[in-house]
Structures are given as C-alpha cells and as structure tokens.
C-alpha cells in the first residue's frame, strides 16, 4: 500500500472512534456507540439487523425482473442476448450491488475493530468468503449464510484434532464439493425431485 497521508501505508489507520449517534428529524436512528457500556452487544444487534435487511433485499431482488434476467445470463448468455437482454447493464448492476454490500460490511468491520490496514484481509479470507458461497449454494439467497455457519462450526469442531485440523477440514470440503457441486441447499432440491 502506498504511504499516503490518508491511508498511512502498511501501518494503516488506527484509533478510529466509535460511531456517534445519527438522528433524523429528532428520531435517533443509530445510537451513540461511544456512550454505551458494552458496544459489542450493539454491534451484534446492528449485524443481525443488517443481515435481515440484506437477506430481504436480496430475496426480493432475486425474485424480481432483474433477478430473473441475471439468472438467464447465468444459464445461457448468448440466448439472453439474442432476446434483447442488455448484458452490460446487468453486469454493472450486479457489480454495483455486490460492491455496495461489500462496502457496508467493510464499514461495519472498521467500526467494530476501530482500525484498518492492508493485512486486515488476507488471501485466506478471500478463499473462505468464496467457500462460504460455494458450500451453501450459489443459486440460493440463503446459501452464503448457511455456508458460513457450517464452515465456522466445522472449523471450531475440528480444533480438537490439533495439527490435522486443516487436512481433515480440506478433505471434508473437497468431498462436499464433489458430492454436492451446487451446495448444501441443493440437497433439499434433489430430495424433492425424487
């Protein structure tokens, strides 16, 4: 990272203050985190609230016209283009939505840790984010949440295996990807088909 005054390079930015209260028309939307006795509980409630809002918004988006058009791109891009679907527009919309959600989660991360620096996220984190999506199921709104729950629970349970933890974890992941290439949620769809 460049050592610009605003980013401080590899040292990053530290001592970021907790968020203050945000009020609109006298109604407090966000409480003053700095004045709270235990701000971690408030961040927990904020995270749950944001998860529910994002889930509802994504569920609505997937079942809207734009969501159906995006799914048509996933199935057959050439066919979608031949019937008049604006592929460039849909890609920009998908990129903007995913960037917005990533920005919101990054802002909450910075507020919780009160610091940010280049090594905050590593390649391992990026791989785990993708594994969360793949394991849960890419074609499902709830897929990444289920994948995150299963991966974190599995990693915690395997901590008792000591030095073999990563080997066992990786083997289980590979087997799951081979047996369920569309994720865990596709298991329910497969059972319903039979």
- The pLDDT of residue 99 is 95
Instruction: Give the global pTM.
Output: 0.76
If asked whether residues 42 and 98 sit together in one domain, one would say yes
CA 142 – CA 54 distance, rounded (Å): 11
> Which of these, 70, 65, 118, 112, lies nearest to 94 by C-alpha position?
70
Residues 111 and 142 in one domain: no
pLDDT of residue 101: 93
d(CA 62, CA 85): 16
The predicted structure's pLDDT at residue 65: 92
Q: What whole-number distance in Å separates Cα of residue 20 and Cα of residue 31?
A: 7
DSSP 8-state secondary structure symbol assigned to residue 116: B
- At 21 the pLDDT is 81
Whether residues 107 and 136 share a domain: the answer is no
pLDDT for residue 54: 92
Question: Residue 17's pLDDT is what?
Answer: 82
What's the domain count of the chain? 2
Residues 37 and 100 in one domain: yes
Of 104, 138, 139, 127, nearest in space to 173 by CA = 127
Domain that holds residue 15: 1-120
pLDDT at 104: 92
Taking CA atoms, 130 is separated from 41, 133, 144, in Å, by: 28, 5, 9
At residue 194, the pLDDT reads: 67
Do 115 and 150 lie in one domain? The reply is no
CA distance 32 to 39: 9
Low-confidence ranges of the chain (pLDDT < 70): 1-2, 190, 194
Same domain, yes or no: 131 and 106: no
Same domain, 94 and 26: yes
Last residue of a domain, one of 72, 96, 120: 120
Same domain, 79 and 167: no
Q: Do 23 and 37 lie in a common domain?
A: yes
Whether residues 9 and 77 share a domain: the answer is yes
């Amino acid at each position: 990272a460049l050592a610009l005054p605003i980013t401080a390079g590899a040292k990053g930015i530290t001592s970021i203050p907790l968020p203050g209260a945000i009020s609109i028309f006298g109604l407090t939307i966000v409480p003053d985190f700095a004045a709270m006795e235990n701000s971690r509980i408030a961040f927990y409630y904020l995270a749950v609230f944001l998860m529910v809002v994002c889930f509802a918004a994504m569920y609505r988006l997937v079942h809207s016209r734009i969501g159906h058009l995006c799914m048509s791109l996933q199935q057959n891009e050439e066919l979608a283009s031949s019937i008049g679907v604006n592929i460039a527009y849909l890609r920009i919309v998908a990129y903007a939505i995913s960037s917005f959600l990533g920005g919101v989660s990054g802002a909450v991360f910075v507020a919780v840790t009160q610091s940010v620096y280049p090594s905050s996220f590593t390649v391992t984190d990026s791989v785990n984010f993708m594994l969360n999506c793949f394991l849960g199921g890419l074609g499902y709104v709830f897929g990444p949440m289920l994948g995150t729950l299963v991966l974190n629970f599995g990693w915690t349970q395997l901590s008792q295996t000591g030095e073999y933890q990563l080997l066992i974890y990786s083997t289980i992941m590979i087997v799951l990807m081979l047996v369920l290439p569309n994720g865990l949620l596709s298991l329910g769809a497969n059972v319903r088909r039979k």
